């Protein structure tokens, strides 16, 4: 398990969750003025989920998912809450003990990256950049920590429609679009800073991202079938 995953705040009790949620909301899309007036709604959704799902509680990254849902449905808190709950159910294994879905997804990512993005994959490996040093940051926030907010909102429907398949497809779409910048980055520190911080402040065409992600789905499906032989 990466240092990032090990260091995540996982709050099982309601009081711990409330404190962690308040802290994380201060830095959730902090550069987007439209988020600030919606923070009470985001807080209510996260707090209620922590109460209703004590086995999961609250984990860092959920704040970005809840914020995205509230901004997608600004006048329908009930719908935002339902869509957030659907995401939590769909990706339960990202946040539950031992992160089973995360570990499964990482294995598929490594296989696909080596097959279809070999130059970039080789560059990352040669630079000492391991998948667990960047994938949890993007996946546990459902791309809220990787992409500009409009692109996160644009890709969310595909992610919810396709589950881990969608997460992998969007991931490869992001890396394909950003491939030139990533190949130009030298050294582990520079690469991780680009992936985990700089990409979120760089404009990206959300429609192009989703179109590219859908083109990745057949490759993802092949890898999934190969990993689950009959």
Q: How high is the pLDDT of residue 229?
A: 57
Q: How far is 193 from 190, CA to CA, in rounded Å?
A: 5
CA gap 49, 17 in Å, rounded: 10
8 Å CB contact between 48 and 85: no
| Cα–Cα distance, 177 to 33 (Å, whole number) | 27
Burial of 192 (0-12, 13-18, 19+ CB in 10 A): buried
- pLDDT band per the 50, 70, 90 thresholds, residue 6: very low
Residue 10 has pLDDT above 60, yes or no: no
Which is nearest to 21 in space by CA: 48, 3, 55, 1?
48
pLDDT of residue 7: 45
Of 150-159, 176-185, 197-206, 210-219, the one with minimum mean pLDDT is 197-206
pLDDT tens-digit map of 163-174: 999 999 999 999
> Bigger pLDDT: 83 or 30?
83
pLDDT band at 99 (very low <50, low <70, confident <90, very high): confident
Confidence band, pLDDT 50/70/90 cuts, at residue 190: very high
pTM score, two decimals?
A: 0.87
pLDDT at 12 exceeding the cut of 60:
no
Q: Would you say residue 74 has pLDDT above 70? A: yes
Residue 7: count other Cβ atoms within 10 Å of its Cβ: 9
Helices (H) and strands (E) in the chain, counts: 14, 2
Q: Average pLDDT of 57-69?
A: 90
Q: Are 110 and 88 in contact (CB under 8 A)?
A: no
Mean per-residue pLDDT, 199-226: 92
Ranges 28-37, 84-93, 123-132: which has the least confidence? 28-37
């Amino acid at each position: 398990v990466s240092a990032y995953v090990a260091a995540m705040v996982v709050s099982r009790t309601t009081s711990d969750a409330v404190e962690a949620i308040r802290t994380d909301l201060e830095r959730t899309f902090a550069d987007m003025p439209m988020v600030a007036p919606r923070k009470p709604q985001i807080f209510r959704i996260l707090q209620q989920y922590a109460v209703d799902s004590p086995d999961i509680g609250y984990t860092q990254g959920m704040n970005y998912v809840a914020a995205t849902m509230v901004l997608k449905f600004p006048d329908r808190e009930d719908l935002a809450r339902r869509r957030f709950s659907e995401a939590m159910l769909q990706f339960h294994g990202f946040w539950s003990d031992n992160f089973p879905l995360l570990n499964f997804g990482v294995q598929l990512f490594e296989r696909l990256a080596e097959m279809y993005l070999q130059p970039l994959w080789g560059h990352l490996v040669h630079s000492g950049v391991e998948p667990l040093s960047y994938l949890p940051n993007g996946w546990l926030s459902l791309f809220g920590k990787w992409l500009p907010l409009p692109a996160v909102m644009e890709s969310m429907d595909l992610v919810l429609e396709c589950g881990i398949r969608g997460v992998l497809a969007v991931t490869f779409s992001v890396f394909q679009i950003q491939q030139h910048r990533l190949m130009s980055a030298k050294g582990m520190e520079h690469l991780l800073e680009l992936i985990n911080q700089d990409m979120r402040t760089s404009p990206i065409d959300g429609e192009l991202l989703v179109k590219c992600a859908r083109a990745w789905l057949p490759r993802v499906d092949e890898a999934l079938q190969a990993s689950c032989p009959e």
